[in-house]
Amino acid sequence: MHGDAHAERAGGWYGPCAGAGAVEATWRCAVSAPTSEEGRPADRGYAAGARAGLPFAVATVVLGVSFGVLARQLGWGVVAPIVCSTVVFSGSAQFAAASILGAGGGVGTATLAAVFVNARFLPMGLALAPSLAGGRLRRALEAQGMVDASWALANRGDGSFERTFLIGATVPQLVAWIGGTAVGAVAGGRLGDPEALGLDVVFPTFFLILLAEEFRDRRSIAVAVIGGLIALSLVPLTPPGIPVVAACLAALLGLWGRE
């Protein structure tokens, strides 16, 4: 989801090639694809993409239900969580915004945190754009189908992407995310205190999973530690949400020294 960063990254899942890293998974999927006349893997099509996206949909629907329940318990009502999942379609951004609002933070701070969390889609979109079809409007619409798992699955490994395969892989995840949110939002009003059910740990657990996936080298670990220290130092001094936004700035350190 735009994000998503929902189930697509949890547990290291990046598609049928689960268990490998993102690059390895993308390569294995690419080399098993049909080959075009130009010698590179051909686009496997919408149906093949949808089949590849189904395993992610299973995890996505669980997270969607969790988001719907927790959003309902935070006072969002039934309609707002569903609309949010339809428009934003980003588990990581939605969990970030909801956690800040639930802690008493402002809408502006929650929105800014969601923007920072989803900033990865800018370079991902730039890489994908040449593989999309049509004019600017059509490419903009097709790019809405870009989520982490679909982007990795459709990556041929040579800088190009399988356009229809990517869109097809996103469809079951979109249906699962919106459907799961709807189920959670409707059921949330009948479940009582979410802390009694253990649902209060969903937000922090979700982000800990995402964080663990990034611990690949010393630079990544250093950035995570610095971000955590920034957040902890600001919690007693600033309004809810500000520590999260400030901690996101530590990610810029990860770019220092890179080409």
pLDDT band at residue 236 using 50, 70 and 90 as cut-offs: confident
Higher pLDDT, 122 or 8: 122
- Which sequence spans correspond to the domains of the chain? 1-42, 45-214, 217-259
Over residues 231-237, mean pLDDT: 84
pLDDT band at residue 222 using 50, 70 and 90 as cut-offs: confident
Over residues 76-98, mean pLDDT: 92
Task: State the Cα–Cα distance between residues 13 and 9, nearest whole angstrom.
Answer: 5
The confidence score (pLDDT) of residue 83 equals 96
The confidence score (pLDDT) of residue 59 equals 84
Question: Exposure pattern of 83-115 as b/e (b: 16+ CB <10 Å)?
Answer: ebbeebbbbbbbbbbbbbbbbebeeebbbbbbe
**pLDDT over threshold 70, residue 76:** yes
| Average pLDDT value over all residues in the chain | 78
Question: Residue 44 CA to chain centroid, in angstroms?
Answer: 24
pTM of the model: 0.70
